[in-house]
Structure 1
Amino acid sequence: MGKIPQSFRRAAAQYPVSTLLKPNTSSSSSSSSSSLQQQIPPPISNRQTQKQTPNKNPIKTNDSAPRKTLPSLIFDSPNLSEAKSQFNKLISTARNIPSDSSFYNSILQSFSSVSSLQDSILFLNHMVKTHPAFCPTRFTYHILLVQSCSSPDDQSLSAVHNVLNLMANSGFPPNHVSTDVAVRALCTSGREEQAVELVKELCAKNSPPDDHTYNFMVRHLVKNRSLSTVNCFIDEMKKFDIKPDLVTYTIMIDNVCNSKNLREAIRLLVVLSEEGFKPDCYVYNTIMKGYCTLSLGSDVLGVYKTMLDEKVEPDRYTYNTLVFGLSKSGRVSDAKKFLRVMNEKGYSPDEITYTSLMNGMCREGDALGALGLLAEMEEKGCKPNVCTYNTLLLGLCKARLLDKGLELYEVMKKYGIKMETGSYGTLLRALCRKGRVFEAYEVFDYAVESKSFSDVAAYSTLESTLKWLTKAREQGLVV
């Protein structure tokens, strides 16, 4: 969906939509359908980014003292001997070598990115032996731990065990941070099975994952493994007294809803309640969105009623989802009712709300009513988007309201609004049906000039429309 240019935002003042609503007795409305390519967004809280202002009175420093430029080493060769030589040269020639371990960690990080794990360990030993001032920290060993986990072809945990043993022998037994580092590196490398195995081992050694690591595992597993694998992992973690929380269930419900497994979503909702957690608005909105994808308007309303029974206050996205789902399932009257409720609750409908309802009205053949909703939308200061206009154009053309459709098309053309495939093809066919082929070519020119889609796609649609026109004339369907 493209961004509306600023000039188009002033269209309401320069080209009032009310002019499109003049009665046209020569047009007749019929059943129509419109494709709305919009998704109800999840309820993410809006965060305003504070504008950073420069400090006009910076802390003064001793200008006479020269700035220290920290030496650094960046390796592009895995050759261990060369790496040792470069480090030796750095230590022997550079002045003001920092004592901060992060400096040496960056050198080890650079070499580990191009070398084998064994050579990285040997290089670390050389760094400590050559420069005793360097004292490795836990984060030093975490560099090696990440390297040991990052080989997607390694089917065992032997390398990981070697690093963990090295850490323990060096006075840094694995803790929950080490567990998190290893789990994320393994999962990122596609080694989910090894991650599960390692977590169980570390739990047995009193180094269990914290809530963040645990939920990261669940989130990664639900995206890349079967639901049975996820449930098995959760059951195994319960043996170590690690139980799912509200975030865990929310992650799983979101996943099964996206895969249209609403039966599992409802089961998880029951389990969540049995475990003593109260579903929040986000959980209910997610399930409602799942029912919307299946056009199950009754079930969408059922979830809404459950929210009210459980004293969970609906938010803007709840009503957006209701309007979208009910409109999509053909229950436009109910959708209109929730648009009014939304206003009464103080939630201003946005372009998604209005476009969803317009889509449903066009599907029912009430394209003129949808056009009136556009006027109401603009009066309330809500700016239409590309999908809004394409939805209306498609609905007007399908309802055989070609003149109204062309007026709307001229507004889109004037302000550079791109056309979508459905509205473009339907407008071409409506013009050809009326014998206005020359105007169809003009629409084709605009589609190409506005880069609404590729030239090939635009021409292909025009060509198929002209073939349809020829065939329709031969059959006497079009004069």
Structure 2
Amino acid sequence: MGKVPTGFRRAVAGSSQSALFKASNSSASILQEQIPPPITPLQSHKKSSKKEPTKVIAPAKKSNTPPIIFESSNLSEAKALFNSYISSLKYTPSDPSFYNSILQSYSSISSPQNAIFFLNHMIKTRPSFSPNRFTYQVLLVQSCALPDETSLANVHNTLNFMKNTGFPPNQVTADVAVRTLSGCGREEHAIELFKDLSSQNVLPDTYTYNFLEEGVKPDRYTYNTLIYGLSKTGMVKEARKFLAVMSEMGHFPDEVTYTSLMNGMCRQGDALGALALLEEMEAKGCVPNSCTYNTLLHGLCKARLLDKGVELYGVMKKGDLKLETGCYGTFLRALCRNGRVAEAYEVFDYAVESKSLKDVTAYSTLETSLKWLRKAREQGLAV
């Protein structure tokens, strides 16, 4: 595979960060406000020879004490107790925090599935109750706080339940889950969930990430997933910092790492910066692949740096690298827009000969580009 010519590259000034960046005060504040306290049994459940009546406590306006203390995890009994208590009230509460405290009380001694059933019962019997995100975080904390679980099945069930009810996972959700799992000794599950959520563009913030470097060591896949997610969502500066951290932790970036970051830089219009990253990549002994070059070519064309794109295309040809469909189409349109039709035909020939695309796809893309050029010339928009 050919190297990018020296004159073709452009170095960029920049300094790499050598340490994890700290969480902002606002992030920590948001977390503190929204994360529910750890679920703990609210009353001892020792067996007694004498059965005591279930306790019902009137709600206090400024107290975290739940209005109902459940002594049995039995779902039917929990529903009956809830119905009895609500019926005894002179007015129907509508504040979600009132119902959230009841849900938290029951979920502290029940299974995750029964807690969901109980929440559905509250919603059905009390139409004035409109669950909020905190409601579902109560369930999430419960599913994460099961120390003997061997999988994330209950956690994923809760996350899917949240999504289906209009509360898809967000950054706070990720923070709650990761912190709870780690706090319960489920560090490996915390890392696994961290990867899953990051791949879905639900990115934990730096506060959560720093909370994880404390006894848990991310692997290369973890870093790649994080850099990909940050780059895709426009957080390129943050992704670049993790590139430095990744190296310091002994996980050297590979072609996937660099390509993800280049893609993010091109999306932000910094195609030249992405091109300079290619030089850094090769200098460190990492060989770019076809996806790397296609990402850069696409970015250069989008940034209207066609001459640079043509030079990069030459490097790709020398290395017998295939053109991807999206990159091929963008490159052809850029050439036609600039009146370089002969070169567009040459690119078409290479795409067919290298079997980069099916013949019909390659031809239809060229035909569309030429039609656009003809129309643009009629309107005086192209040379």
TM-score bin, normalised by smaller chain: 0.5 to 0.7
1:373 aligned onto 2:291? no
Contact 1:18 1:375 in 2 (8 A): no
**Deviation (angstroms), 1:286:** 3.6
Identify the residue that residue 238 of structure 2 maps to in structure 1: 334
Identify the residue that residue 278 of structure 1 maps to in structure 2: 186
**Structure 2 counterpart of 1:468, from 368, 372, 376:** 372
Letter in 2 for 1:422: G
1:406 aligned onto 2:313? no
Identify the residue that residue 325 of structure 2 maps to in structure 1: 421
1:20 aligned onto 2:8? yes
1:304 aligned onto 2:209? yes
Identify the residue that residue 442 of structure 1 maps to in structure 2: 346
**Structure 1 counterpart of 2:255, from 332, 351, 356:** 351
Is the alpha carbon distance of 1:21 and 1:251 closer, same or farther for their aligned partners in structure 2, counting shifts above 3 Å?
farther
Q: Distance in 2 between matches of 1:305 and 1:254?
A: 27
**Deviation (angstroms), 1:395:** 0.6
**Deviation (angstroms), 1:465:** 1.0
Is the alpha carbon distance of 1:361 and 1:271 closer, same or farther for their aligned partners in structure 2, counting shifts above 3 Å?
closer
Identify the residue that residue 151 of structure 2 maps to in structure 1: 248
Q: Distance in 2 between matches of 1:359 and 1:467?
A: 29
Letter in 2 for 1:284: I
Letter in 2 for 1:19: G
Q: Distance in 1 between matches of 2:313 and 2:158?
A: 40
Calculate percent identity across the aligned residue pairs.
56
Which secondary structure state, in structure 1, belongs to the residue aligned with residue 382 of structure 2? coil
Q: Distance in 1 between matches of 2:361 and 2:205?
A: 37
Q: Distance in 2 between matches of 1:339 and 1:251?
A: 33
Q: Which has the larger radius of gyration?
A: 1
Contact 1:393 1:405 in 2 (8 A): yes
1:293 aligned onto 2:168? no
Which secondary structure state, in structure 1, belongs to the residue aligned with residue 150 of structure 2? helix
Query: Which protein has greater RCO, CA pairs closer than 8 Å, 6+ apart?
Result: 1
**Deviation (angstroms), 1:301:** 3.3
Q: Which runs of 5+ in 2 are unaligned?
A: 12-110, 117-145
Q: Distance in 2 between matches of 1:428 and 1:400?
A: 13
Identify the residue that residue 41 of structure 2 maps to in structure 1: none
Q: How many residues align?
A: 249
**Deviation (angstroms), 1:234:** 12
Identify the residue that residue 211 of structure 1 maps to in structure 2: none
Q: Distance in 2 between matches of 1:272 and 1:331?
A: 26
Note the 1:10-409 alignment, pairs <5 A.
Answer: 11=2, 15-21=3-9, 232=113, 245-249=148-152, 253=156, 262=169, 272=181, 276-280=184-188, 283-294=190-201, 296-297=202-203, 299-308=204-213, 310-409=214-313
| Aligned-pair Cα RMSD in Å | 3.3
Q: Distance in 2 between matches of 1:244 and 1:285?
A: 15
Q: Distance in 1 between matches of 2:289 and 2:150?
A: 34
Q: Spell out, residue by residue over 1:197-247, the C-alpha distance to the aligned partner (whole angstroms, 9 max, x if none).
A: xxxxxxxxxxxxxxxxxxxxxxxxxxxxxxxxx965999xxxxxxx98443
Contact 1:285 1:321 in 2 (8 A): no
Which secondary structure state, in structure 1, belongs to the residue aligned with residue 151 of structure 2? helix
Q: Distance in 2 between matches of 1:433 and 1:460?
A: 17
**Deviation (angstroms), 1:252:** 5.4
Is the alpha carbon distance of 1:269 and 1:253 closer, same or farther for their aligned partners in structure 2, counting shifts above 3 Å?
farther
**Deviation (angstroms), 1:290:** 2.1
Which secondary structure state, in structure 2, belongs to the residue aligned with residue 473 of structure 1? helix
Is the alpha carbon distance of 1:405 and 1:370 closer, same or farther for their aligned partners in structure 2, counting shifts above 3 Å?
same
**Deviation (angstroms), 1:447:** 0.8
**Deviation (angstroms), 1:306:** 3.0
With structure 1 as the length reference, what TM-score do the two structures score?
Answer: 0.46
Is the alpha carbon distance of 1:254 and 1:312 closer, same or farther for their aligned partners in structure 2, counting shifts above 3 Å?
farther
**Deviation (angstroms), 1:256:** 5.5
With structure 2 as the length reference, what TM-score do the two structures score?
Answer: 0.57
Is the alpha carbon distance of 1:251 and 1:430 closer, same or farther for their aligned partners in structure 2, counting shifts above 3 Å?
farther
Q: Distance in 1 between matches of 2:326 and 2:319?
A: 20
**Deviation (angstroms), 1:277:** 3.6
Q: Distance in 2 between matches of 1:255 and 1:425?
A: 42
Q: Which runs of 5+ in 1 are unaligned?
A: 1-7, 24-229, 236-242
Contact 1:249 1:268 in 2 (8 A): no
Identify the residue that residue 193 of structure 1 maps to in structure 2: none
Which secondary structure state, in structure 2, belongs to the residue aligned with residue 262 of structure 1? coil
Contact 2:147 2:186 in 1 (8 A): no
